[in-house]
Chains A and B, each alone.
Chain A
């Protein structure tokens, strides 16, 4: 078991009310598994992903990655842990606008001193068919290319867990397929993918799908019904 979430909860204050974004979620994900969590907007998908990624501490419950709770590490240790164990892919890509493709893929190297960083970045860029775009800035790329650059950046440190937040939300079907294929291949190499989405097509690439609603996971049997509907 690579990832275990135990009774994870998180609430936010919204005006005078308190909104329960994630409410007692427990689940496990094994190495090599592609798990999709599907749910409508505002159901707590992104909050769950950020908590797993060590960016948002839960109110209660635990996140365990190979038995380590990242929230028990200091801020600096957690930052380093994040850089070596996790990769992030976002719907908005979040590429740095003034860096070219190569430098964007190399940004994770700022957090660590990886030798052969440039070679690794070029290898990934080639893997995603972007070698002709090496010195182009994000503004010069298509949306599909931007997401492929974001994916290459996420895979730079060969993380164990890839956290994808609506990775195909802004892509056409062709580019979506490329991204989803890359995610699947990542799991074949032993990593696990946790993807949150409301895209039915994207969900089909996952090995396991869980539904989420109002911060709570829907049982797998009910998820089948949700998917079919």
Chain B
């Protein structure tokens, strides 16, 4: 005869009390394990969805890039209208336009009925030494698009650089260690960097763009421009530049026309934008999934403690009822010589055993719930992916501790019962 045997016999005898206690532990553990398992299933599913989404986005991005390539290819080409006094040889050697023409030319061209040119961008550009940074740059002033009067307003291809802002080429940005939102001074004037271009492998990498009017002021070129960039020129003729030269030559006599900005560059930019859009879509999906997991975790963080507390209280009540029913037994056990610690042990060991059995059943019930309701991708084996030895161990520690703590006060009451009072009451 041992205390353990006594406890087992009692559990067998008072099956309802034992089963109700066991059910409480099972519910508490199953709730905890199910919450953890479902959250893990969420994470696995998220990883899978994001991986799949990344593939889809890549594929869609590739398709979009291809479509952009085809579209931009068919859209036309860019030309540069240079002043009559510009030495083209010098321009080709240095990439810099030193000649000037009146800004009025842009207006004349915009008001003409020219059909081969779509977008007009007047600009000034000069190679300067940035006095505050002691660094050579190509300072470009751009006004943004000048609308052609005889056409309906089209969506501008190139955004104007607002006054007080600066757009920076890759090499300059790298060399000076500047970033978006940094404030810089150029020739005594303050600018805020609003954009830094990625590497293009052209003179653009060594260029800073500011507003045309501000550039004209800084370069002392009021009402003058170095060139007019005409974008998306359409011409069906075989020698398309010659036809545009002829047409523009009639409007702006003496100006020189060259083809500018290889179409490959425009296409590359379009592809970059397509890629950036795909990445943003993937990030959005990721953020949505993480938000969903957080919502589930927050819900579990409220629900699980409530269930555990409720089950703990119920186990405590059942233990108290058990102590009350067993009062004569406690009296006689004390009379025949059992110490109060042994009586205490009878109730705590019983609670501990219920905790262990409940932990095992509860873990596998919670695990089953996780497998059933945690919708995992078909390629993932849920039994393997969601089984956790760590959580099983956690359950085997948590449940006996919960049951023992819940039974602590009833067990103390049992141990402190006065056997004389019990035996006198008969």
B342 part of interface (Cβ distance < 8 Å): yes
**Residue pair B2, A94 in contact (C-beta under 8 Å):** no
A55 at the interface (CB under 8 A from B): yes
Residues B336 and A99 in contact, CB atoms below 8 Å apart: no
**Which residues of chain B from 1 to 16 have a CB within 8 Å of any chain A CB?**
1-3, 5-6, 9-10, 12-14
List the A side residues contacting B339 at CB < 8 Å. 75-76, 79-80, 111
Is the pair B334, A96 in contact by a Cβ cutoff of 8 Å?
no
Tell me if B362 is interfacial: C-beta within 8 Å of chain A: no
Query: Are the CB atoms of A90 and B336 closer together than 8 Å?
Result: no
Across the interface, do A79 and B337 meet the contact criterion of CB distance under 8 Å? Answer: yes
Q: When the two chains form their complex, are residues A103 and B1 in contact, meaning their CB atoms are under 8 A apart?
A: yes
Closest 5 CB pairs of A and B: A83-B337, A98-B13, A111-B337, A106-B1, A56-B420
Is the Cβ of A117 less than 8 Å from the Cβ of B1? yes
Could you say which of A25-33, A46-54, A182-190 contacts chain B?
A46-54
Q: Is B358 an interface residue (CB 8 A)?
A: no
- Judge whether B177 is part of the interface by a CB distance below 8 angstroms: no
* Residue tally, chain B, CB below 8 Å to A: 29
With A96-B332, A103-B9 as contacts: A80 and B337 at CB distance below 8 Å: yes
Q: A2 to chain B: which residues have CB within 8 Å? A: none
Contacts of B2 in A (CB 8 A): 110
CB of B84 within 8 Å of the partner chain:
no
Given the complex, which residues of A lie within 8 Å of B95, measured CB to CB?
Answer: none
8 Å CB contacts to B: which residues of A16-52? 46-47, 50
Residues of A within 8 A of B338 (CB): 79, 83, 110-111
Report if B157 contacts A (CB, 8 A).
no
* Closest beta carbon of chain B to A86's beta carbon, Å: 8
Decide if A107 touches B333 in the complex (CB within 8 Å). Answer: yes
Q: Does B329 contact A (CB under 8 A)?
A: yes
Closest partner residue, chain B, to A100 (CB atom): B9
A103 partner residues in chain B, CB cutoff 8 A: 1, 5-6, 9
Q: How many A-B residue pairs have CB under 8 A?
A: 90
- B424 and A110 contact, CB distance less than 8 A: no
Instruction: Confirm or deny: A92 has a beta carbon within 8 angstroms of a beta carbon on chain B.
Output: yes
**Docked-complex contact B335 and A110, CB < 8 angstroms:** no
Residue of A46, A88, A112 touching B335 (CB-CB under 8 A): A88
User: Binary interface profile of A, 46-75, with partner B (CB < 8 Å = 1, else 0)?
Assistant: 110010010110000000000000000001
Q: A79-B339, A96-B329 are in contact. Are A55 and B334 (CB under 8 A)?
A: yes
Contact of A107 (CB < 8 Å), options: B13, B336, B340: B336
Do A84 and B1 touch across chains, with their CB atoms under 8 A apart? no
* Contact partners of A55 in chain B: CB under 8 A: 334-335, 419-420, 423
Task: Please determine whether B424 and A82 come into contact, CB atoms closer than 8 angstroms.
Answer: no
Query: Does chain A have a CB within 8 A of B328?
Result: yes
Is A219 interfacial (CB-CB < 8 Å)? no
For A117, the chain B residues whose CB sits under 8 A away are 1
CB distance B10 to A94 under 8 Å?
A: no
Chain A residues in the interface with B (C-beta under 8 A): 46-47, 50, 53, 55-56, 75-76, 79-80, 82-84, 88, 90-92, 94, 96-99, 103, 106-112, 117, 153, 165
- CB pair B336–A50 under 8 Å, yes or no, is no
- The minimal Cβ–Cβ distance linking B17 to chain A, given in whole angstroms, is 12
- Complex Cα gap A108–B423 (Å): 17
Residue of B nearest to A80 (CB): B337
- Contact between A108 and B336, CB atoms less than 8 A apart: yes
B83 within 8 A of A: no
17 contacts between A and B (CB under 8 A): A46-B424, A55-B420, A79-B337, A82-B335, A83-B337, A94-B328, A94-B329, A94-B332, A96-B329, A96-B333, A99-B9, A103-B1, A103-B6, A107-B6, A108-B337, A109-B1, A110-B342
Q: Which of A50, A83, A111, A153 contacts B420 (CB 8 A)?
A: A50
Q: How far is the CA of A214 from the CA of B62 in the complex (A)?
A: 106
Q: How would residues 315 to 345 of chain B score, 1 for a CB under 8 Å from any chain A CB and 0 otherwise?
A: 0000000000000110111111111111000
Chain A residue nearest to B1 (CB atoms) is: A106
Q: How far is the CA of A46 from the CA of B5 in the complex (A)?
A: 32
CA distance A111 to B339 in the complex (A): 7
Least CB distance from B160 to A in Å reads 92
Contacts of A99 in B (CB 8 A): 6, 9
A88 and B336 contacting across the interface, CB-CB below 8 Å: yes
CA distance A83 to B335 in the complex (A): 8
In the complex with contacts A55-B423, A110-B1, A98-B336 CB distance below 8 A: no
New contact pairs (5) apart from A98-B10, A110-B338, CB-CB < 8 Å: A79-B337, A94-B423, A103-B6, A110-B342, A111-B337
Residues of B within 8 A of A107 (CB): 1, 6, 332-333, 336
A154 to chain B, nearest CB (A): 8
Q: How far, in whole Å, are A94 and B338 apart by their CA atoms in the complex?
A: 15
> Across the interface, do B424 and A98 meet the contact criterion of CB distance under 8 Å?
no
Q: Which of B13, B342, B426 is in CB contact (< 8 Å) with A97?
A: B13
A121 to B294, CA, bound (A): 64
CA distance A79 to B333 in the complex (A): 10
Q: Which of B261-293 contact A (CB under 8 A)?
A: none
Query: Nearest chain-A residue to B5 (Cβ)?
Result: A103
- Residues in A with CB closer than 8 Å to B329 are 94, 96-97
User: Which listed residue (B3, B12, B334, B341) contacts A98, Cβ 8 A?
Assistant: B12
Q: With a CB–CB cut-off of 8 A, which chain B residues contact A108?
A: 336-337
Q: Name the one of A56, A82, A92, A94 contacting B337, with C-beta atoms under 8 angstroms.
A: A82
Shortest C-beta distance, A120 to chain B (Å), equals 11
> Which residues of chain A come closer than 8 Å to B334, judged between CB atoms?
55, 79
How far in angstroms is the closest Cβ of chain A from B197?
A: 85
Q: Mark B333-375, 1 if CB is under 8 A from A, else 0.
A: 1111111111000000000000000000000000000000000
Question: Is B340 in contact with A110, judged by CB distance below 8 angstroms?
Answer: no
Give Cα distance in the complex from A158 to B5, angstroms: 24
